[in-house]
Chain A
Amino acid sequence: MSLLSKPWIWSWSAAALTFALTIGLTSGRGAGELAYAALSFGAFAAIVGLGQMLVITLGPGNVDLSIPATMTLAATLALKVMASMPGTAMLGLAIALMVGLGAGIANYALIYLLRLPPIIATLAASLIYQSLAIWSNRGLRIKPPQELADFATGRLFSVPIVAWVGFGLAVVVWIMLERSVWGRWLLATGQNMRAARLAGVPVEFVRASTYLTVGVCAGLAGYLLASFSGGAALNMGAEYLLMSIAVVVIGGSSIAGGNSNVPGVWGASLFMFLVISMLNSYGAAAGVKNVLTGTIVIAIVIAASTRKARI
């Protein structure tokens, strides 16, 4: 297989091109800062994007719309428990992951027990998570413990630590997908659930574990984002709904499920951040920026669909 036929090459090339265009505008100044910001914010998008990718791989109709609410709830509760005290970072992480896991269990319980379409189940559940977050937050902005804030904004070998976390997660997800039985089960379920069930794949176990995983990913992303940006805000997850779905599609995974692409998610996450920062550096107003972001996402979806049609 040649390099050009790999689906992830497109998102990485687009990211590189956008990076070059932005740097070209400032004639090379600020390249380091831009790369740092892109890797940091790209990491948050990639973490939730990887989770969303697993869910979308499950097949048509599977999508988690509760990611923003789960992120907010996990971050809010974790910061509340840590109460800015030093030495509580691991406790906060555990809380955030547990909240994510709990949200995943609740989502799957609704899907399985009530036979709800995942869109409605995660939508209805996200309203409840949102209320829980509002109730526990009370409009306060609690700072993360200092050492956690240093960790989240720090660098290791001049690459942001959150990006390492994102890369690590991507490697784990890749191994799970490509080298484990569970990954084969997931792909089989996404390609044809009925056939997979008849072939002896524990379909419900696969679905349950996937919805739990996306919850944990959202919890982790919320925890890191809140530590990175100095506190949890009620709208902190809002942009990650479009982002999580967009990076999956742009990254070359099939929206119809049964086919996923881990490196593409990372490339697409970098691309999405770089596009927004490029529009910022061209001085675009908020309205124009939104219109262009939406148009670019749709244009890429169209390009991806026509490319598939030709092959």
Chain B
Amino acid sequence: MSALSRYRILLPVVSLAVLLAATFWMQPRAMSYFGLNLLFNLAVPIALATIAQMMIIMVNDIDLSLGAFVSLVACITATYLLDTPALGLAMLLTLILAYAALGALIHALELPAIVVTLGMSFVWGGLALFILPSPGGASPDWLRTLMTVKPPLAPMAVVASILIAIVTHLLIIRSGIGTVLRGVGGNARSVARAGWSVLKLKAFAYGLAGLFGVLAGMALVGLTTSADANIALRYTLLSIAGVILGGGEFVGGKVSPTGAVIGALTLTLAASFLSFLRLSPDWQIGAQGAILILVLTARLIFSRKAGDT
């Protein structure tokens, strides 16, 4: 078990290190405070979205609406949260509650999460279009200041990622409630037998996903200073890829928050790396798919080796 859990976090770390080394080799000037800041500029919202997706995958579901949800949050942040902060905040809280209710609904009626979230992606996307029919809005000043703060030693994106990893690690791996939540993914029946309400736990997991989704949308607006209804649609795929790259599994509650954050950083870096390669933009999306397949192949070889010994 210890060997298994060690390689689970080892592989994401190695992938990130290899990619980082390759980037520095291609572009030595990136090896600076400013360079790192540019490389990981968009890492914070992606890391937060990946954590949100991880909460869902942790309880054996999958969320295909996350990208649309983050877009909707971005639209609310750039309009209502800016003009009428109280109303905006209330809307964002409602969204988190809606996510929790969705989790409860999916569990209570035994609905297929993949279909429900696919349907919800239309609902979130439609609401976003309703709030912001054309790109626009602006970031609240405090959010802009927060996202562009320049801490000493390491750039904001790196510091924030480490902070997110620590907080979610404590919440999911170290705390009692986190262990029970992972237990829902591992064996929901035994968690229920132990006296927990799986319904409440699942609603809580979805609520956490909603919370991190909201944070992701806000962070995104803080960086881009404006929003549109399609701003984060690709986050659905990125977040699933990030969780899997980070050593998470689709079933069994086997997830790693640290790994997920590292997975998100790897995907962010991959985009920068590809542009350093002067790869035609046509191939950017495909190369991300190829990297995903490559890392999963590496993981298969690792786990085969681990299985042999």
A interface with B by C-beta (< 8 Å): 61, 63, 110, 114-117, 119-120, 123-132, 134-135, 241-242, 245-246, 249, 255-256, 285-295, 297-298, 301-302, 305-306, 309
Contacts and interface: CB of A to CB of B under 8 A. Distances in A.
B289 A297 contact: no
A246 B112 CA distance: 11
Contact of B286 (A130, A249, A298): A130
A294 B293 contact: no
Given A131-B286, A289-B126, A290-B125, 20 more contacts: A114-B296, A114-B297, A119-B114, A119-B250, A120-B296, A123-B241, A123-B289, A128-B290, A135-B280, A242-B118, A287-B129, A287-B133, A288-B130, A295-B123, A297-B119, A298-B119, A301-B112, A301-B116, A305-B109, A309-B109
Closest 6 CB pairs of A and B: A131-B286, A127-B289, A290-B126, A294-B122, A287-B130, A291-B126
A134 B297 contact: no
A234 B240 CA distance: 23
A288 B285 CA distance: 30
B237 A123 contact: yes
| Majority DSSP secondary structure for residues of A touching B | helix
Interface of B: 62, 105, 109-112, 114-116, 118-123, 125-130, 133, 229, 237, 240-241, 244, 250, 280, 282-290, 292-293, 296-297, 300
A290 B123 contact: yes
B25 to A, nearest CB: 25
Contacts, number: 134
B300 A114 contact: yes
Nearest to A242: B118
A118 B13 CA distance: 25
B289 A128 contact: yes
A234 B129 CA distance: 21
A131 B118 contact: no
A126 B114 CA distance: 17
Contacts of B116: 298, 301
B285 A131 contact: yes
Contacts of B128: 287
A285 B127 CA distance: 11
B286 A127 contact: yes
Contacts of A289: 126
Of A110, A119, A298, most buried by chain B (CB within 10 Å of CB) is: A298
Contacts of A134: 282, 285
